[in-house]
Amino acid sequence: KNEVEQSPQNLTAQEGEFITINCSYSVGISALHWLQQHPGGGIVSLFMLSSGKKKHGRLIATINIQEKHSSLHITASHPRDSAVYICAVSFMIKAAGNKLTFGGGTRVLVKP
């Protein structure tokens, strides 16, 4: 069982719609990351969170530490937002370094 679960696995939206991707994890973490991966493989870090909320342009990431849950929101979605969005966490285990444990990803397709 993966320690990081994402939902949905796939999401199709019309341009302009509000998109939400969810991530839940099983044990205490030191940080949660939201990553974007475009076709061809390149991964870009969008956010790193340990509490609260962060916003960058049309992207908003929130985390609830007590509920072990995070959401990534895309407002006014655009076809260029089409990508795989991956949630990853680093756990509060000293020996673990800050290696990331990844969710399975959410494939987002925004249609014009």
**Nearest distance in Å: CB 92, another protein:** 13
Q: Please list every residue from 31 through 90 that binds another protein, using CB under 8 A.
A: 31, 33, 35, 40-45, 48, 86, 88, 90
Using alpha carbons, list the distances in angstroms from residue 12 to 22, 23, 42, 43, 103: 15, 18, 21, 21, 19
CA-CA distance, 58 to 18, in Å (whole number)? 10
If one asks whether residue 1 binds another protein (CB under 8 A), the answer comes out as no
Q: Which is nearer to another protein, 40 or 112 (CB)?
A: 40
Binding site for another protein (CB under 8 A): 4, 31, 33, 35, 40-45, 48, 86, 88, 90, 95-105
